[in-house]
Copies of this chain bind each other. A is one copy, B any other.
C-alpha cells in the first residue's frame, strides 16, 4: 500500500502511551508503511512539524515500549466544532495531503476521539481518502465503550502499591508521631484512581481506611468524625482523597483554602494539604500527606503488565483497522470474563466514544461512601495485575530511550493562527 500513517499523542501522557506508539510503529513497519508522528500532538500537524520515525532503530522502538512520558510530545489543544475551527481542520487536511497521509491515528481521550471524528468528516467532504482511528489512552479511565483505558491500570497499580507502602510507614510511627496520612489521587471528575487505592487493603482495618470520591459530597463534620473513629480503633488512619471532591454546594474542596496564603501569594495546596490542615486543626492529630501528581502517571517502573499488554494491543489493532479502512473507529478493550481475567480488542464507532464520559458505577462505592465494594474490586484488580519492569542501567536508573525525532522537510507555508 502506498501512503503515510500519521500518529499523534494527545492530552496528559501515561506510563504506557509510548508502548502504544511502539506497537503502532512496529506493526506499520511489518507492513512496510511509513509512520510520521506529530511533534507535540496535533499542534505539530498544524505547524507541519512531523517527526520521521523511520530514522529510529528497531531497538529504539522496542525501548519505547518501556519508556514513560510522550516520546513525540503531546499537547492540550482542543479543536472546536467544524464550523468554529474550520481553518484549523482545513490546515490539518492540507498537511495530510502534502505528506500523503492516508491513515491518521490519534492517541488520546474523549476530545481526541472527537477531533479524529471531525477530521474524518472533513476529509469525506473534500473526497480525500483518509482513515481516522482513535486510540484510547487516559489515566482517568473515563472513556466510553471500552472496558478500561490503557494508562489507567499502571496509575492504579502505582496508587495501590504506594498506599500500601506508606500505610506500613504510618503504622510504625503512629504511637508517638503521625496518626493520619492523606494521599491525593488524580481524578477531577471520577474517582477511578481513588478507588484503585482501595486495592491496597482487604479488611476494614487495612489501609486505606477512608476514601473520598468526587462522586460523593464532602461532608467535613462527618469526615472528621470518621477519621477520629478509625484512629481510636486502629491507632492510625490512612485517607485516599480524590483531587476532585466537592462540597454539597458544588465547590471543589481543593479551592477551599482560597488559593492565597496569608501573604497574598498563590497557594497551590490541593485536597490532601487542605484535609491535613483540617485534621490537624480540628482533631489535633499529627498528620502527613502526599501529592504524587505526575509521579502517578509516569511511574513506568511500576507499570501493570495487564495495562502494558492492552496499550500495545490497541496500538497494533489501530494500524490493522486503519489499513482495512475502518474509518472513524477506535480499538477498545472488551472484558470477556473476570476470573480468569480475559479480554479482547474490538472496534467501536468513534461516534459512541467522542465527548462521552464514563462515570464510575454507583455500585462501586460502599454505602457509607468511604470505601469500595466487592464489585469494584472484581473490576479493578485484574487491571493492576502483573509486573513489567523496564530494564535498568548500571547507574541504577531505568534505561529509558530518547528518540532522535528528526522533523521531515516542510512543504507548506508557515501556519498562523
Contacts and interface: CB of A to CB of B under 8 A. Distances in A.
Interface of A: 9, 12-13, 40, 43, 67-71, 73-77, 157, 160-162, 164-173, 175-178, 181, 199-200, 256-263, 265-269, 273-274, 276-278, 280-281, 287-295, 297-302, 304, 381, 384-387, 389, 392, 394-398, 400
Interface majority SS on A: helix, strand, loop or mixed? Answer: mixed
Given A13-B169, A75-B175, 8 more contacts: A73-B175, A76-B177, A162-B299, A165-B299, A166-B298, A261-B269, A384-B395, A386-B396
B262 A166 contact: no
Contacts of A398: 161, 164
A69 B386 CA distance: 23
A288 B294 contact: yes
Nearest to A304: B396
Given A258-B263, A396-B304, A289 B290 contact: no
A147 B398 CA distance: 25
A346 to B, nearest CB: 25
B294 A397 contact: no
Nearest to A398: B161
A291 to B, nearest CB: 5
A173 B68 CA distance: 12
B176 A75 contact: yes
Contacts of A160: 396-397
A273 B300 CA distance: 25
Nearest to A156: B396
A241 to B, nearest CB: 14
B176 A76 contact: yes
B290 A277 contact: no
Nearest 7 A-B pairs (CB), nearest first?
A69-B168, A70-B172, A258-B262, A384-B396, A257-B261, A266-B277, A169-B298
A294 B40 CA distance: 34
A256 to B, nearest CB: 8
25 contacts: A13-B168, A13-B172, A70-B168, A73-B172, A75-B176, A164-B400, A165-B299, A166-B295, A257-B262, A260-B261, A261-B261, A261-B267, A262-B262, A265-B277, A266-B277, A266-B280, A267-B269, A268-B273, A268-B287, A291-B291, A384-B395, A385-B396, A387-B389, A387-B392, A389-B389
B289 A292 contact: no
B263 A165 contact: no
B260 A13 contact: no
A9 B177 CA distance: 14
Nearest to A164: B397
Contacts of A397: 160-161, 164, 199-200, 384
A12 B173 contact: yes
Q: Which of A43, A67, A70 has the most CB of B within 10 A?
A: A70
A273 B389 CA distance: 31
Given A293-B290, A384-B396, A173 B266 contact: no
B74 A173 contact: yes
Contacts of A161: 301, 397-398
Contacts of A261: 257-258, 260-262, 267, 269, 277
A398 B302 CA distance: 11
A175 to B, nearest CB: 4
B293 A289 contact: yes
Nearest to A9: B172
Contacts of A381: 395-396
B68 A169 contact: yes
Contacts of A386: 396
A248 B199 CA distance: 46
A290 B291 contact: yes
Contacts of A299: 162, 165
Contact of A265 (B70, B265, B281): B281
